[in-house]
Structure 1
Amino acid sequence: MALKASEISELIKQRIESFDARAEARDVGTVIAVTDGIVRIHGLADVQYGEMIEFPGGSFGLALNLEQDSVGAVVLGEYKHISEGDTVKTTSRILEVPVGEELPRSSGRLLRQSY
């Protein structure tokens, strides 16, 4: 079965119209050094102080040292799998700490014990 040029053109138009391309703009950077849970990253020009950043493998870090051409971040958890050359993404989320019934009691005990 041979297709006519007009049929091919119509099929291409239909495919283009139904194509669903979703682009997600994210600020990305590259790991340039990893030392004892501290990561130095080149890029991330728009990262905010205290913003959570995402490493490969789903681990997160916290951007703390914002310099002109690099960012210093502390890894929140295991860092052995992070290496130079890895791509890091911003999350646009500032670190959040959930508060529940137990947190005020335990922190109060710590405060009383420190006197």
Structure 2
Amino acid sequence: MFMVTIKADEISNIILEHIKQYNREVKIVNIGTVLQVGDGITRIHGLDEVMIEGSSVKATRKIAQIPVNEAYLDCVINALAKLIDGRGEISAFKSQLIESPTSGIISRCSIYEPIQIGLIAIDLMIPIGRSQRELIIRDRKTGKIVVATDTIFNQQWQNVICVYVAIGQKASFVAQVVTTFQERGAMEYTIVVAETTDSPATLHYLAPYTGAALAEYFMYLE
């Protein structure tokens, strides 16, 4: 163990040096105190520059939409298309309506190509058409998520973009699914939209629309 000794005359020099290096810049920061946290709602006291009763609002004259970009592949986002995997931000110059008008029957193409989901019983007997809508209905804890994830795994090298939407699931479970996608190489062609159990009900409602909007962007992408 080494002892560092400082002479008395050196102390004043050290103090003067620190005074010279002191940053005199003054910043005004709006600080509050968290009073209560629960059910995805935080009550804060002391902030006077946030939305309150009587605040001014401005109409954008735009329908609700989200930013879209091919860079969202291999990312985890929330219902507002904001990255939540710690990768920063993505600059998107295009936007997609959250709820787009449905195309008419005449403008739709015929379904002639099946999509292989990896389950032999379904692929052989009742194959699902590519671009066909299919609803998975089963009781709780019977493997609906497994069917969805296996379908995503089976699209590798098939030139198919996948969007996995997790609504009301635990953050730990979503992280486990994302890790599995990464290990299987599925995140390269997959976007994960996640709103966990602690998210507000409004975002739970919005999440599937966000996932559909992202899928529609890639559908119309030339």
Between Structure 1 and Structure 2, whose CA radius of gyration is higher? 2
Q: Normalising to structure 2: TM-score of the pair? A: 0.21
Q: Which has the higher strand share?
A: 1
Considering Cα pairs closer than 8 Å and 6+ residues apart, tell me whether 1 or 2 has the greater RCO.
1
Q: Which has the higher helix share?
A: 2
